[in-house]
Structure 1
């Protein structure tokens, strides 16, 4: 038969472990909440610092802020994959597309492969080609 002292001691240890587990669970939840909030604040601070740097550079150059530059022009998106699919849709070779855009065939190849990105003027010309079909593209090529 076990000694009543050892049984009492083991029961007290079990109850105290149970109480501690409950207390630590609450602390773990609050620590997790604090850590996620700290991470969110760090990300926000980093974006704000980037904006301050960008605005500082723009002010140093004497030019308007980047957000103010293109208010009157609609933003045109560009991707290498869409340029390649647009060229295939029009049934053009890279050289023919280059001729339409007024650039070299190597430039079109590099744009489609994603190695380089066209300048704003070329992006506008690419966007203008989105609204034409095969016949119109062939007609424009014949004119050139």
Structure 2
């Protein structure tokens, strides 16, 4: 009896597959068509987004000269060149002031190790430290000792 039920089940499955095969074929075709359409739409969206970004940048560039002129009128421009750090200058100034690296570090509000690396040229100070270094380089011996 099991042989008959197995054969019957197999036949029913075969017939069911045969009948839905046509329907599945058309569904597969529509799925692939929809996937390709989705991919095309994604490409279109990507192109449109890049165009919008380009237009936005162009508008910002056109608006920027007007803003820059307005800012120049409000804030006076800096005079002179940008400060350029030189390790030798820091070491020379420390010797001129007669300070140890530890005293120079406290004057610059930095660690002794940082001062040693700056003087040795092994590290570059950050912008905030550059401002302090610039102030210290302009100091005289009395002013430096007074600050300590």
TM range (shorter): 0.3 to 0.5
Structure 1 or 2, whichever has the larger Rg, is 2
**TM-score, length-normalised on structure 1?**
0.47
